[in-house]
Structure formats: C-alpha cells, structure tokens
Amino acid sequence: MSEIFLIVGLGNPGSKYSQTRHNAGFWFLDTLHKEVCAGAVDARFRLQAKVSADIYRGRIHGKDCILAKPTVFMNHSGQAVRALVDYYRVSADSLLVAYDDLDLPPGTIRLKKGGGHGGHNGMRDIFRHLDDTDFLRLRIGIGHPGFKDAVTGYVLSRPTADQEQQIMHSIGDAIAVMPDLLAGNTSKATKDLHTGDESPAN
C-alpha cells in the first residue's frame, strides 16, 4: 500500500447546501480533516480546478492521503472522481467514497468494498465514469422520508437536531477506525465499525 490513498466525500458545493443531509459525505471529510489537521500550519483545503475539487493532501495515520470535496454538483460527481483518479494515479484499492444513504437510519454507518450504486445519484455518476468500481464505500445513514416523492426535498434539507447528532456520532465511529483502514486492515476496520454502531434501535 505505497500509493496515495484518495478519500472523496460527496455533496453539493456552496453554503446553500452545506447543512443538508445530502452533504453527509462532506461532513465526514470535514470532521476527519479537522481531527488530523488540528494545529497544523497551512492545512486548508485548496481548490484544484484541474480535478474539479477542493483538495487537502497530507499524511494521515502514516499514509499519504488526498481528501477531496468535488466542486461540481452531486449528479456530476463522477467527473471529479475520474479526474482525481487519473491525475493522482489511484487504483480502486486506494479509493474510499463517503456519501449519504437513505436506506440506513441516522446513526448507522457501513463500510463496504464493491457493490452497486444503490440508486444514489452521485454514485450512479461515478459508475458512469470509472472503469473499476470495486472501491471502498462509506455509507452514512440519513434515514428515509417514507415516500419516494419526498426524497428530493428530504435530502436537500437539514436533519433534525437529533438526527444530526446521530449522524455526526456515526461519523465519529468511522473516523475511529481510519487508522486500521489506512494500514490496510480493512476487515478489522469494517468489523469494528459495524460492531460499534450496533444498538437496540438498529
């Protein structure tokens, strides 16, 4: 595992969307960045127009990492992810994409390698742009409004205070297993994460 590890958080750019459920992937990236860069000099995200993303590059738990937040809208996420993968020459084994998931309740988070896009618009576009989709996914539960017609308004609105607290708690659980994940111990990271977020409510 000598190559760069690329961590992409999905969301919509701009302050209008920053606190919406659809930006849970950005929340994960911002929380991770804040934790690993606390006190660091000049550790800001910087716009890299050539890859359509705000980028931070640095060592995280001993691994050379790129944190990337696409500057294109969610439905065009694949454009940015493909540009990132090509520019930094990252294989599917060294790519993690974090995103919101309607099928998981707030407070639940899942780590998985490979699989489908689950109907998520950002992931669907990534599938259109990448040849190898056998990458790691971090699915951040945001819950479902109950009706298909209500989904768009739901994901583009802010969660309740309780839901937001649950989502952020699950993000904290994911960050806690990042040392193992970045060390290549994916099975242990997955087991610890899934065990840690189990509760009677789930």
> Which residues partner with 136 through β-bridges?
96, 113
Structure tokens at 15: 């302050």
Cα 52–Cα 81–Cα 166 angle in degrees, nearest 5: 100
61 is an active site residue: no
Residue 139 CA to residue 128 CA, distance in Å, equals 19
- Nearest to 35, CA basis, from 24, 23, 27, 47: 27
Q: How far apart are CA 58 and CA 146, in angstroms?
A: 41
Single out the catalytic residue among 22, 117, 120, 129.
22
H helices within the chain, ranges in order? 24-36, 77-88, 121-129, 151-155, 161-176, 178-182, 186-196
Query: How many C-beta atoms lie closer than 10 Å to residue 172's C-beta?
Result: 14
Give CA 82 to chain center in angstroms.
Answer: 16
Provide the annotated active-site residues: 22
